């Protein structure tokens, strides 16, 4: 049960992007299409899970004073492996689109943050579940942003045309001019800003209902949900 708990909170309640605001660079840079977003999330999750497990296994031998450099070397090793694997497996246009953001996984604050906040004081299986949970949250966030950007900004989904879309001669979606700005750099900021606000709004409504129903409100989620619930874990990423 506790293993499930290591996983369960991470994708939604502690979403790395929309609640903790970590790992913003790849989130904004590669989400022009859903396929790029998924490729990025898989690459980052692979590094996160492997680094989490290895840090957890080595936690008794890593001296406290030099733990951050140790984590960085571990992460950089896995990033190099993922980089080579991506060159072999992923289609060339995906590699082209992800570009320097694959080697930049090494400075992704989500991964270093989990190593420091979780894996360095938990067992390998818990750390594995934690990595999968946070990775799933990252994937969800990238999916949401890239879905909006690709559908509205390019009129396609996973590379297939949506506008105009016709099936057996019947027009399902009339030809609509895509809002191209969403595929470009400013669109990334606008989409994440609006989604962030929307999720906070839903979260605050949910909280209000929950605290009205609950006999004793959970102190951590009461009040200004996205800001206050950051707690200790968010501190690692503050200002990075």
Partner 1 sequence: MDVSYLELAVGSILISNLVLAKFLGLCPFFGVSRRTSSAVGMGGAVIFVMVLASAVTALLYRHVLLPTTPEHTNILGALGLPVPEGGYVLVLKTISYILVIGALVQFVEMVLRKAVPALYRALGIYLPLITTNCAVMGIALLNTEAWRDPANGLPVHLAAFNGFCGGVGFLFVMLLMSGIRERLADLPVPRPLRDLPMAFLSGGLMALAFMGFTNLFGIAV
Binding stretches for partner 1 (CB under 8 A):
21-22, 24-26, 28-29, 68-69, 72-73, 76-77, 79-80, 83-84, 87, 99-100, 103-104, 106-109, 112, 181, 184-190, 192-194, 196-198, 200-201, 204, 226-227, 237-240
Helix boundaries (H) for 61-184: 67-89, 92-98, 109-117, 124-154
Cβ distance to partner 1 smaller for residue 53 or 192? 192
Rounded to the nearest 5°, which phi and psi values hold at 165? -120, 125
* H or E element at residue 160: strand 160-161
Cβ distance to partner 1 smaller for residue 29 or 34? 29
Cβ distance to partner 1 smaller for residue 129 or 191? 191
The single residue listed with the structure tokens 């999330």 is 41
Cβ distance to partner 1 smaller for residue 103 or 123? 103
Shortest Cβ 181–partner 1 spacing (Å): 7
Shortest Cβ 3–partner 1 spacing (Å): 29
Shortest Cβ 125–partner 1 spacing (Å): 27
Handedness of CA 195, 198, 202, 208 (dihedral sign): positive
Shortest Cβ 82–partner 1 spacing (Å): 10
Can you give the C-alpha Rg of the chain in angstroms?
20
Give the rounded distance of the alpha carbon of 58 from its chain centre.
25
**Cβ(162)–Cβ(155) under 8 Å?**
yes
Shortest Cβ 158–partner 1 spacing (Å): 22
């Amino acid at each position: 049960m506790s293993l499930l708990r290591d996983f369960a909170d991470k994708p939604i309640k502690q979403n790395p992007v929309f609640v903790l605001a970590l790992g913003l660079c790849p989130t904004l840079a590669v989400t022009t299409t859903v396929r790029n977003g998924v490729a990025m999330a898989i690459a980052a999750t692979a590094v996160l899970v492997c680094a989490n497990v290895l840090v957890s296994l080595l936690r008794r031998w890593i001296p406290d004073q030099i733990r951050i450099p140790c984590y960085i070397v571990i992460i950089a090793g896995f990033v190099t492996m993922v980089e080579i694997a991506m060159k072999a497996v992923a289609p060339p246009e995906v590699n082209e689109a992800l570009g320097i953001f694959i080697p930049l996984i090494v400075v992704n604050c989500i991964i270093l943050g989990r190593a420091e906040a979780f894996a360095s004081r938990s067992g390998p299986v818990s750390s594995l579940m934690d990595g999968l949970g946070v990775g799933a949250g990252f994937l969800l966030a990238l999916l949401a942003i890239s879905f909006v950007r690709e559908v509205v900004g390019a009129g396609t989904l996973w590379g297939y045309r949506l506008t105009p879309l016709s099936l057996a001669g019947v027009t399902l979606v009339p030809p609509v001019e895509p809002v191209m700005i969403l595929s470009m750099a400013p669109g990334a900021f606008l989409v994440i800003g609006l989604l962030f606000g929307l999720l906070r709004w839903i979260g605050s409504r949910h909280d209000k209902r929950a605290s009205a129903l609950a006999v004793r409100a959970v102190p951590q989620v009461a009040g200004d949900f996205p800001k206050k619930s950051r707690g200790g874990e968010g501190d690692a990423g503050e200002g990075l």
